[in-house]
Amino acid sequence: MPETYALKVRVSLSMAVCLAAGLLGMVAFASGSGATPNANKGSGVAQAVNCRGDVVLDPGHGGTDPGATNGALKEKDQTLNVAYKLRELLKGAGYTVCMTRGGDPTGTGDDNAADDATLSNSERYTFANTTGARVLVSIHMNGSTNPATDYTTTLFGKWQKDKALALDLYDGLRLNLPAASDSSLYIRGRTPYSYASGVLLKSNMPATIAETVFITNNDEARLLAAGTR
Ligand SMILES: [Zn+2]
């Protein structure tokens, strides 16, 4: 990881920074020696479906599927927020990013569908497989009927394809993200486990689902609502 990133992790400690901390090492690994980011492969055609990039970010849920909720907070909105922040961090480090959904405020055609699109898993992995990306990160927040429950974890589909990425992002989160209930501690972790999601199993590149935090935990919800998570 570049030193500037290690510094940012200590200073900012946001969820996106923690994901970036885990992700940047993996992108470099997956790109082989030299870790050269993709040159801009944009065709110049402002069509999102033509996005080419190093990383695909997949904000979980969307549209008619809100995901887990806590009061007015919806997982689909929070995962998009994290994806936007993470995209900026990755771009700042020289990597190109495609998104399965998300607005395109910069007009660079680096998204696939509108902010609040309803996407099937098939649409998500099919898009990812057109981008030439080296890694795919699906961003989620967990839910539980027990509001006390809160931990971070990541999921992998195929052991060989996905596990290194899942472990990298897991470490990025658990070793850097403060606990919502006590910022002098780190968030609890649950060891990454396999999960038979089409997004993981049908994507061509290393892929993981990051179950970043529990949106149903009120300490987390407070931080998310304040935009400080
Ligand atoms: Zn989810």
The predicted-structure confidence for 81-131, as pLDDT tens digits, reads as follows 999 999 999 999 999 999 999 856 455 666 777 888 899 999 999 999 999
Query: What's at 132, amino acid-wise?
Result: G
Q: Answer whether residue 183 shows pLDDT above 80.
A: yes
Cα-based angle 84, 190, 133 (whole degrees, multiple of 5) = 40
* Rounded distance between C-alpha atoms, residue 224 and residue 109, angstroms: 28
How many angstroms does the Cα of residue 197 sit away from the middle of ligand 1?
12
CATH 2.40.50.140 fits 3-34+47-226, yes or no: no
Residue 45: which of 130, 102, 128, 110 has the closest Cα? 110
Question: Poorest-confidence range of 13-22, 38-47, 89-98, 161-170?
Answer: 38-47
Contacts of 13 (CB under 8 A, 6+ apart): 176, 177, 178
How many angstroms does the Cα of residue 120 sit away from the middle of ligand 1?
13
How many angstroms does the Cα of residue 36 sit away from the middle of ligand 1?
32
Q: Which helix (H) or strand (E) holds 169?
A: helix 159-174
Q: Answer whether residue 149 shows pLDDT above 90.
A: yes
Sorted by where each begins, the domain ranges of the chain are 3-34+47-226
How many angstroms does the Cα of residue 200 sit away from the middle of ligand 1?
14
Average of per-residue pLDDT across 195-201? 97
How many angstroms does the Cα of residue 134 sit away from the middle of ligand 1?
22
How many angstroms does the Cα of residue 178 sit away from the middle of ligand 1?
21
How many angstroms does the Cα of residue 60 sit away from the middle of ligand 1?
5
How many angstroms does the Cα of residue 42 sit away from the middle of ligand 1?
30
How many angstroms does the Cα of residue 76 sit away from the middle of ligand 1?
8
